[in-house]
Structure 1
Amino acid sequence: MLSLFSQEYRASWFRGVGAARRDVLAGMVGTFALIPEVIAFSFVAGVDPQVGLYASFVIGIVIAFAGGRPAMISGAAGSVALVVGALVQAHGLAYLLAATVLAGAFQIVFGLLKLDVLLRYVSRSVRTGFVNALAILIFSAQVPQMVGVDWHTWALIAAGLAIIYLLPRLTRAVPSPLVCIVVLTAITMAVPMPVHTIADLGRLPDGLPHLALPDVPFSLATLRIVFPYALAMAAVGLLESMMTATVVDDLTETASSKARECTGLGLANMAAGLFGGIAGCGMIGQTVGNVRYGGRGRLSTLTAGVFLLVVLVPLRPWVAQVPVAALVAIMIMVSVSTFSWGSLADLVRHPKVSSVVMLATVAVTVATHDLAAGVVVGVLLSGVFFAFKVTRLMDVSVGHDPGSDTRIYTVSGQVFFASADVFAQRFDLRETAPQVRIDLTRAHLWDVTAVAALEDVVARLRRHGTAVTVVGLNQASASLVDRHAPRVREGAGLAPALDPA
């Protein structure tokens, strides 16, 4: 784990005056992008908006110090909110807070056990599908704010997009989304018009959060209630945070500590639960916006959390007047920049199975609004297609040595649970030759299913009076055979050659 006093950790905070200014401004943009989504996700979870906003404030500050991915913004996220709706409806907010604290504890354990390595099983096709699905969900979340409104809202959205995309051609001193918010707010305050503001999205907090233990009985009955929800929140939160961290790694061409991010998120969620907030995780839309507008260090993450508190309390009267159209324009920009447009051309260039995996990830995620479900389906499909491909690469050729009247079966490729049946079918179990040699020099036995298939072939041949010799086992395969099928290497004429592993 990265030390708090290491040179790399200090560098993630202090990168020069210019970098610090970019981090602060980008973090401020991330704060405004957080507010509408956090309020919406709070409604999904069935809790008051301030529960999600308090959580985002606490998580943002803790993760800035304890997280493993600089420039990543975390807060109350929709994927976690979807998990806990039933818990809140059945048992109330107090049990949600208890589940949040327990979920944080689970995440700390996951990080200490280095379970972040499971991310290696997520293929690039799944990651691309994850990003594209998220871009679609971000855009679709803005649609309700654009339906049933008058021309004033559409005009403000168009003006906001013009500022966001045209201002960088003149200057990049200030992030154009921040200018968009200030200009559109000034316009609506100077010229009153029938448009929605942040105040219409929900009641903003009017005080600071306070530390308190969840008001639930500390008993096994409570644990039985919150345990499944806590485990689900922990898993979904880690999955989304790991995927978001990987996206930032790609955007910034830097590496991050995924194990530290696991433990950091766990600490942040435990703190959120103790301060009256819901569990959260990495928010890819806000994170991508932060990175796109110059956020690279931990200061941008800290700014997003601290500025959220500043926005919610002292500046509450002014923030309440920010038009939703400004936020819609920002999120449309984030959606467009998040989508991997090159993946559309890759659908033709890449192998069909990769394209199917990517499209399936997108389809499931968009249909369920659950990022975890889409990733799980994508990973399963990737595994199935990989197993099928490796199975086709396994081959058994048959030859004959007339001098010794020996039938020779030469196996090449990987023999495991998916190819074991094909392996067994390639042998003539009614062999008429007095001797059979099974050459595994160019093969590898991966699991007990492969060993069982070999054992079955050898046993059946021997029952027909055929002398069977197994040669070419590498060290790893021989160890499996000796442990699970020792009779394969028994009997007259058996002289296996052990090749180096």
Structure 2
Amino acid sequence: MKIAFRPKLLDCLPTYNRTQFGKDLASGITVGVLALPLAMAFAIASGCSPAAGIWTAIIAGLITSALGGSRVQIGGPTGAFIPIVYGIVAMHGFANLMGATILAGIFLLAMGLARMGQLIRFIPVTVVIGFTNGIAVVIFLAQIKDFFGLKIDNLPAEFFGRIKTLAAYAHTVDLPTLALATACFVFLLSYNRLAQHISVLRRAPGPLVVLLLGTLISFIFSLPVETIGSRFNGIPQELPNIGLPNLSIHDFGKLISPAITIALLGAIESLLSARVADSQIDDRHDPNQELIAQGLANIAAPMFGGFAATGAIARTTTNVKTGGRTPIAGIIHALVLLSIVLVAAPLASYVPLATLSAIVMVVAVNMGEWHHFRELRRYTYNYRVILLATFFVTVVFDLTIAVELGMVLASLFFIYRMSELTRIERLPLGELAEEAHYLYPDGTMRVAAWQLFGSLFFGAVNKLEELLDPAAGHPEVVILDMTRLIQLDTTGLEGLESLRDKLDKRGCKLLLCGLNSQPGSLLFRSGFIDHLGDDNVCADMDEAFQRAYILLPNLMGSFDEDY
């Protein structure tokens, strides 16, 4: 198998010019400034340090843009990873999170090299909507502690334990924290409306404005609220120690399941983001190259103290809207973040955690596709069951289980639907029904013709039993018209073999006609036609009836009473 490795950056460089660089520069600066509060907020919400979030955005963002399969994709930490990362940190610790991220990166890299990028599109939209909305709810619930300033040392990752803990500490609400968080939440939620009336707001991303205003208010009025400095001692104004996390080979066994979850979600979100970007810039991304880049990004980020990353839809869309059209904009965004860390890191100590929790809550509200719940009554029962089951299991249990359950339900409903579309109908014989050669003395037919529709697969093969029903008579020749049979699997083949054997025991011959390419290929390759006989495979019904005429013996006036 030939492995193609060609980042989109190589396609953009030959025609790159100064005008496009100016647009990419402006877009890269804008996205880099936007990514700063989001990276810190997502990291804190995930149970990590804000520095870990920033370095994830820098390293993953740089690799995603330089080696990715999309012109405009922006990589980094995202809100969708919050419940997953938080659970891993709570159960295994941050060092094991970095190990799980590296393992997930290896899985993503292998998926890209194996050219599995297209397979991600097989996940039904109902499953995607279900887990996306479920993740939004989990993110929102996870921020209640910092939003209300609750005095909780360790918030459980498990749903019921989290709800129980929040209820038990509800009386510890800190009013200054709640007031600041509420003000930031309402302001950011209504930011777009305000920007329509206040021109200066149109030029700056909402999360950055809220971050600056929340920090200024907290500093000027000396609000007694928790900050990045009070909880994390600020952000180091230096490069992190570069190297692999300190893990033993035994640690990787328990990290396989979390790594698969990270890889699965990372692949889905990055390719969904790239597809959204394609529609905005009229381009087509390379899904396999994108998975390779995401794999390398998740392998490299933990070496700089980072964690799981993927393509970020919000930042990618911002990149497009501000003029970015090549991976250079994403590279500039990473360099802007690096400059901020090396120059302005001490200022981050004053950022209130209440403001960051408000930013994450708004991200959760905006990421959910809530209108699908309002429109559920318009869709089928199958659609509703898959979406609601995936949503419920994501919120209450685990994303991996939710996706697995959603895929199983979608597959079962699909199999049922396909089996319903598969039909076997008896064909009228027309004028042949009046010819004595085709009739028993009692007037019943010595020939029966049936037509197959759809797909004869494991979910519909039982429909062949209809041909053996005593009520269908006792023909000496059975003709199967397969002109409308488009697909046959090995279980369907086994069903045809069983039908042929049972008919043989009755002294009945089986004829096939009108074979299409796929069913015909399988029947020939399996040796079925050799056992059936080439003469018993006909081009059409007319030829089949001619063959039946030859096969039918003369009754010589005798008639078997059993018939």
Match of 1:175 among 205, 211, 214: 205
1:407, distance to aligned residue in structure 2 (A) = 0.7
Measured in 2, the distance between the counterparts of 1:31 and 1:212 equals 24
Measured in 1, the distance between the counterparts of 2:325 and 2:362 equals 19
**1:418 matches 2:464:** no
Q: Match of 1:37? A: 42
**1:258 matches 2:263:** no
Choose 170-179 or 98-107, whichever is displaced more.
98-107
Q: Match of 1:354? A: 383
Q: Structure 2, unaligned stretches of length 5 or more?
A: 1-5, 149-172, 439-445, 542-563
Measured in 2, the distance between the counterparts of 1:331 and 1:9 equals 40
Measured in 2, the distance between the counterparts of 1:131 and 1:475 equals 41
**1:123 matches 2:127:** no
Q: Deviations over 1:351-407 (max 9, x none)?
A: 33223322222222222352x443333232222212111111111112454233311
Measured in 2, the distance between the counterparts of 1:467 and 1:484 equals 20
CA contact (8 A) 1:445 1:451 kept: no
CA contact (8 A) 2:143 2:360 kept: yes
User: Does the C-alpha gap of structure 1 residues 298 and 335 become closer, same or farther in structure 2, counting only changes over 3 Å?
Assistant: farther
CA contact (8 A) 2:115 2:288 kept: yes
Measured in 1, the distance between the counterparts of 2:91 and 2:19 equals 42
User: Does the C-alpha gap of structure 1 residues 392 and 496 become closer, same or farther in structure 2, counting only changes over 3 Å?
Assistant: same
Measured in 2, the distance between the counterparts of 1:55 and 1:491 equals 66
Q: Structure 1, unaligned stretches of length 5 or more?
A: none
**SS of 1:315's equivalent?**
helix
CA contact (8 A) 2:97 2:307 kept: yes
Measured in 2, the distance between the counterparts of 1:395 and 1:437 equals 15
1:496, distance to aligned residue in structure 2 (A) = 3.0
Measured in 2, the distance between the counterparts of 1:394 and 1:132 equals 35
Measured in 2, the distance between the counterparts of 1:12 and 1:272 equals 31
Measured in 1, the distance between the counterparts of 2:138 and 2:281 equals 23
Q: Match of 2:551? A: none
Choose 244-253 or 449-458, whichever is displaced more.
244-253
Measured in 2, the distance between the counterparts of 1:298 and 1:415 equals 48
**1:146 matches 2:147:** yes
User: Does the C-alpha gap of structure 1 residues 256 and 374 become closer, same or farther in structure 2, counting only changes over 3 Å?
Assistant: farther
1:178, distance to aligned residue in structure 2 (A) = 2.0
Measured in 2, the distance between the counterparts of 1:182 and 1:37 equals 17
**1:208 matches 2:239:** yes
User: Does the C-alpha gap of structure 1 residues 262 and 87 become closer, same or farther in structure 2, counting only changes over 3 Å?
Assistant: farther
| Equivalent runs, 1:401-440 vs 2, <5 Å | 401=429, 402=433, 403=435, 404=438, 405-428=446-469, 431-440=473-482
CA contact (8 A) 1:111 1:262 kept: yes
1:211, distance to aligned residue in structure 2 (A) = 3.0
Choose 172-181 or 259-268, whichever is displaced more.
172-181
1:408, distance to aligned residue in structure 2 (A) = 0.8
Match of 1:327 among 356, 373, 377: 356
User: Cα RMSD between the aligned structures?
Assistant: 3.6
CA contact (8 A) 1:107 1:238 kept: yes
Amino acid at match of 1:277: G
Measured in 1, the distance between the counterparts of 2:397 and 2:234 equals 29
Measured in 1, the distance between the counterparts of 2:326 and 2:104 equals 27
**SS of 2:204's equivalent?**
coil
**1:384 matches 2:412:** yes
Amino acid at match of 2:215: T
CA contact (8 A) 1:395 1:423 kept: no
Measured in 2, the distance between the counterparts of 1:368 and 1:12 equals 51
| Equivalent runs, 1:357-368 vs 2, <5 Å | 357-368=386-397
Q: Match of 1:62? A: 63
Measured in 2, the distance between the counterparts of 1:177 and 1:205 equals 19
Measured in 2, the distance between the counterparts of 1:156 and 1:225 equals 40
**1:394 matches 2:422:** yes
CA contact (8 A) 1:54 1:272 kept: yes
Amino acid at match of 1:192: S
**SS of 2:350's equivalent?**
coil
Bigger Rg over Cα: 2
CA contact (8 A) 1:132 1:362 kept: yes
Q: Match of 1:318? A: 347
**SS of 1:193's equivalent?**
coil
Measured in 2, the distance between the counterparts of 1:114 and 1:22 equals 31
**1:465 matches 2:495:** no
Measured in 2, the distance between the counterparts of 1:9 and 1:35 equals 36
Q: Match of 1:25? A: 30
Amino acid at match of 2:85: A
Q: Deviations over 1:261-318 (max 9, x none)?
A: 1111122122223334334333556656777888776455445544444444532331
User: Does the C-alpha gap of structure 1 residues 188 and 162 become closer, same or farther in structure 2, counting only changes over 3 Å?
Assistant: farther
CA contact (8 A) 2:214 2:355 kept: yes
CA contact (8 A) 2:59 2:300 kept: yes
1:244, distance to aligned residue in structure 2 (A) = 4.0
User: Does the C-alpha gap of structure 1 residues 426 and 24 become closer, same or farther in structure 2, counting only changes over 3 Å?
Assistant: farther
Q: Match of 2:523? A: 481
Match of 1:444 among 470, 476, 486: 486
1:253, distance to aligned residue in structure 2 (A) = 6.4
Measured in 2, the distance between the counterparts of 1:221 and 1:498 equals 64
CA contact (8 A) 2:450 2:479 kept: yes
Choose 181-190 or 389-398, whichever is displaced more.
181-190
User: Does the C-alpha gap of structure 1 residues 98 and 317 become closer, same or farther in structure 2, counting only changes over 3 Å?
Assistant: closer
Structure 2-normalised TM-score? 0.75
User: Does the C-alpha gap of structure 1 residues 4 and 309 become closer, same or farther in structure 2, counting only changes over 3 Å?
Assistant: closer
